[in-house]
Amino acid sequence: MSSSSAFASVNPVRRTRPVAVDLFSGAGGMSLGFEQAGYDVVAAVEYDPVHAATHAFNFPQCEVLCRDASLVSAEDVLAAAERGYKRLHPGKVWPGRLDALIGGPPCQGFSTGGKREQDDERNDLLLHFVRLVEELKPRTFCLENVAGLLEDKFSDIRESAFRRLREAGYALSGTDKPVNSLNFGVPQSRRRVIVLGALGDVAPSRPQQVEGTVSVEEAFEGLPSPFGYDVLLESDEVTLRSEDIEARTATKNIYARTLAGLTGSPGDKSRPRLWEPTALTGSRLTTHAEQTIMRFAATDAGTVEPKSRLYRLPLKGPSRTLRAGTGSERGSHTSPRPIHPTEDRVITVREAARLHGYPDWFRFHTTNWHGHRQVGNSVPPPLARAAGLALMASLGHSPVLLRATVSLGDSSLLSLSRTEAQSVFDATADEIPAARTRKPASQDDGVQTLPDARTG
């Protein structure tokens, strides 16, 4: 009898929360989706100190390791998981094993948005995810990556990874074709490979799709124009005027109401966060040159502005894939942000977050460069949630709702420079991204090297 079938046969459906660790966690899209599915994400591993700080703000009870995953051992991960578990469950005995190891290894080497290089060193991080699965032997795992991973040119590394996972005792699903976040209630076309694994002979089911689609117009409903608040030229947050609060409260669309915290999301098992709903966050304006504004004004919705090559979002349809730009080790280039569908500017971080499925309480770094990079690099939480629910069935768990609220972290974590964040986590220089000298940035079209990121 296989290990998984034996496990299922002697364990009825359990009313407990399974334990997960998020590798390559970034700001926390995968962590949030799995928490919504009913997991305790007790630890996260992220080598970029700025992203690690953002994760720590949004998941203050999670133990964050600011480490290079290629240098992290199974013992390191388990020790962090134990600390996070005891923080979440004071007085309870650490179970000593992971129910799920989740993560999306950096995928630029496989991505259609990059150079698609077979020898990109970041491709090796896929095999370090596999290594940690082999060493930790979690009951299940979720591996997320770009659709390009399935191309023939990457067959050697892909098949090596899948073979090792099977040899380690896992049955796999999702190895043959990508999924699209559009089919999981996200107003953005984003094709991704979601490989799920479970110990034993029975592969996890594929993530369950939902009916219907969400448009950009529906996603943005209730968000006031940042042009109405001069402070957003210098800050990413503002207290809303009463008329804007009333307009948001009157939102009709269920997607927007859910992200605004006006309506509970059916089946959401995440810990409720304490936050200030009268505040608008992640909404720092980008300053454009007059000529740029004129070009944006002449660009029809759903088309590309010829000079900047920026795409103008449609109102009635979904967004194209949001991209992330590059980190400090790759020159610190900002992501090509879409043009707003009705205003002649690129979208804000909060608007990008709405297109990704993040609730409004979830915050990102206060600079536009880091904030957009954190959104564009992340897994849309609704997609991660669907993957988590598929693995939950393999574990024999029934999701448990938690009503106790959680206070978010210290907001100073959201404005740290790279070196400041490095100090917070006692991260060593050889395990964080090395800074590359950037060219001076001109006024922002949404595509140049970014002027407002504090790299330390």
Angle at 38 between CA 36 and CA 41, to 5 degrees: 85
Residue 107: active-site member: yes
Other CB atoms within 10 A of residue 422 CB: 22
The span from the CA of 374 to the CA of 450, in Å, is: 14
State whether the Cα torsion 350-356-357-362 is positive or negative: negative
Exposure letters 239-248 (e unless 16+ CB within 10 A, then b): ebeeebbeeb
Q: 123, 118, 119, 117: which is closest to 105 by C-alpha?
A: 123
3-state SS, residue 170: strand
- Radius of gyration for the alpha carbons in the chain, expressed in angstroms and rounded: 21
At 375, list the tokens.
């959104």
Q: Do the beta carbons of residue 284 and residue 235 sit within 8 Å?
A: yes
The span from the CA of 367 to the CA of 370, in Å, is: 6
The span from the CA of 450 to the CA of 443, in Å, is: 9
3-state SS, residue 287: coil
Task: Please give the C-alpha separations between residue 335 and each of 45, 302, 402, in angstroms, as whole numbers.
Answer: 23, 18, 36
The secondary structure of 116-155, three-state, reads CCCCCHHHHHHHHHHHHHHHHCCCEEEEEEEHHHHCHHHH
In this structure, what DSSP letter does residue 267 have? Answer: T
3-state SS, residue 40: strand
3-state SS, residue 21: strand
To which H or E segment does residue 160 belong? helix 155-167
Other CB atoms within 10 A of residue 265 CB: 18
The letter for the amino acid at 399 is: P
The span from the CA of 385 to the CA of 390, in Å, is: 9
DSSP-derived secondary structure for 313-373: PPSSS-B--------GGGT-BPP-PPBPSSSSSBPPHHHHHHHHT--TT----SSHHHHHH
What residues are labeled active site? 107
